[in-house]
Amino acid sequence: MKGLIKNVKLVRDAESEVMDDGMIIYEGNLITYAGKRTEAQGPFDQIIDGKGCIAIPGLVNCHCHAPMVILRNIANDMKLEDWLFGHIIPIEARLAGDDYYWGTMLAACEMISSGTTCFLDMYLDMEQCAKAVIDSKMRANISKNTLTSDSRIERGTLFDKQGYESFLKEYHGAANNRIRVSMEIHSLYLYDYDRIKESVDLAAETNSTIHIHVLETADEKRSLESKFGKRVLETMEELGMFRVPVIAAHTVHVDDADISFMKDKRIYPVHNPTSNLKLGSGISPVDKMLKEGICVCLGTDGAASNNNLNMIEEMHIASLIHKGVHRDSKLMSARETFRMATENGGKALGFPIGKLERGYLADIVLLDETGFHNVPGSGDPIAQIVYSMQGSDVKTVIIDGETVMRDREILCMDTERIKAEVKRIRKRLEI
Ligand SMILES: [Zn+2]
């Protein structure tokens, strides 16, 4: 399969100059050319006219709980602890079977239609999630828990080594390498120290990236520091976590000492601005981390705390809040923010994605710039994407060289069935 996108405004990455008359050629799942219009060497199996569109690398959502779309708008305007322990966990306990599959399928529809081509997910029953990733044609890094429980409410009292190893064997590299597997350790606050240590050792043994929530709230920082008698990042080091890459969701309550501690570690903090604002958790010092050269990524978190999975909106919020809080309009430029949502995410998740460049995977999004809010369409297109554009401007999406959405129509999923299934599940939960 050889494809051509012609007549397109081309944003290859966060740094490069934008080309008004660009062209992309991809063969199989790889980009073979992305640059100025030239004599294309056909024949092509597919030609897309990109007139009126900006081509960007697919966005990378680095922290999500996809099936939580089922719980969208279930509990709002409350503290994280009340939200999580009083509402979310008891309702989650009623999810079962293919509920997770349908939730992930809906999340995939939402992500694709707002320009996300790859995501990192942690939740319950990742087999169902993996099946949905295969069927939705998305790319994903799927985090599998090693700590389980007999009880539906209690978390992580049992260490399931074999379950992790067989999941890794089955899905790491599955679906033409669209799936990678990492290890979920939900947080330091949900389990005993010894259980976490067993998981960390298994991550090192299997060379698995760890995906964990870190320092989301001030209460979490206080209670973990008093429980372990040291800084949270020091506890993570004592556990041996930094033997493997660590994707640390939230990192809101990190100070200067934490940031300098992170500098020589393989840590990828994930900024989740909407979720942190909505749950009143605080604002992560992302500008400082970026200044220190730390590879910060961007994520939506689950739809129960966001309440959507729209990375274009997430970029917009991320770029604005730091300017306002620090009264410095130079912080978090559009290009810095765009880099977090593209190539930084690719690095963290271990895929050659996040740039439109020869040798990168063909994950390509075309944004329609003909809407009123995009006119006149001059100026820096990356600023236009971050500050003016909407998720609904996403017109066509290619993942792994396959067109999954064309002219706003999702091609590979029965979207009406998916919506109906999720509504049915939600109805059952609320009985
Ligand atoms: Zn989360």
Domain boundaries, the chain: 2-58+357-410
Question: Worst-scoring range by mean pLDDT, 82-86, 144-148, 274-278, 341-345?
Answer: 82-86
pLDDT for residue 368: 98
Query: What are the structure tokens assigned to 269, written together?
Result: 């903090």
What is the percentage of the chain residues whose pLDDT exceeds 70? 98
From 85, 77, 92, select the one nearest 425 (Cα to Cα). 92
* 110 CA to centre of ligand 1 in angstroms: 18
Q: How far apart are the first and last CA of the chain?
A: 49
pLDDT digits (tens, 9 = 90+) for 159-197: 999 999 999 999 999 999 999 999 999 999 999 999 999
Q: Let me know: does 316 contact 338? Beta carbons within 8 Å.
A: no
| Mean pLDDT to the nearest integer, 222-238 | 97
Q: Which residue has the tokens 């944003």?
A: 11
Superfamily (CATH H level) for 2-58+357-410 = Urease, subunit C, domain 1 (2.30.40.10)
* 79 CA to centre of ligand 1 in angstroms: 15
Query: What are the structure tokens assigned to 227, written together?
Result: 């429980």
pLDDT digits (tens, 9 = 90+) for 293-352: 999 999 999 999 999 999 999 999 999 999 999 999 999 999 999 999 999 999 999 999
* 217 CA to centre of ligand 1 in angstroms: 12
* 304 CA to centre of ligand 1 in angstroms: 10
pLDDT for residue 100: 97
Confidence of residue 158 (pLDDT cuts 50, 70, 90): confident
* 213 CA to centre of ligand 1 in angstroms: 6
| Mean pLDDT to the nearest integer, 95-109 | 97
pLDDT for residue 81: 84
If you average pLDDT over every residue of the chain, what do you get? 95
| Mean pLDDT to the nearest integer, 205-227 | 97
From 258, 255, 260, select the one nearest 236 (Cα to Cα). 258
**Is the pTM value of this prediction over 0.75?**
yes
Confidence of residue 157 (pLDDT cuts 50, 70, 90): confident
Q: Let me know: does 92 contact 117? Beta carbons within 8 Å.
A: no
Q: Which residue has the tokens 């989740």?
A: 272
* 28 CA to centre of ligand 1 in angstroms: 34
Is the peptide bond prior to 76 cis by the omega test (within 30 degrees of 0)? no
* 64 CA to centre of ligand 1 in angstroms: 6
DSSP code string of 77-133: SS-HHIIIIIIIHHHHTT--TTHHHHHHHHHHHHHHHTTEEEEEEE-S-HHHHHHHH
Residue 381 has pLDDT above 70, yes or no: yes
Q: Which residues pair with 26 in a beta bridge?
A: 3, 31
CA 359 to chain centre: 22
* 216 CA to centre of ligand 1 in angstroms: 9
pLDDT for residue 154: 66
* 409 CA to centre of ligand 1 in angstroms: 29
pLDDT for residue 89: 86
Confidence of residue 84 (pLDDT cuts 50, 70, 90): confident
What is the percentage of the chain residues whose pLDDT exceeds 90? 90
* 210 CA to centre of ligand 1 in angstroms: 14
| Mean pLDDT to the nearest integer, 83-102 | 91
Angstrom CA distances, 75 to 105, 272, 336, 386, 429, stand at 22, 18, 33, 29, 13
* 300 CA to centre of ligand 1 in angstroms: 9
Q: Which residues pair with 265 in a beta bridge?
A: none
pLDDT for residue 156: 72
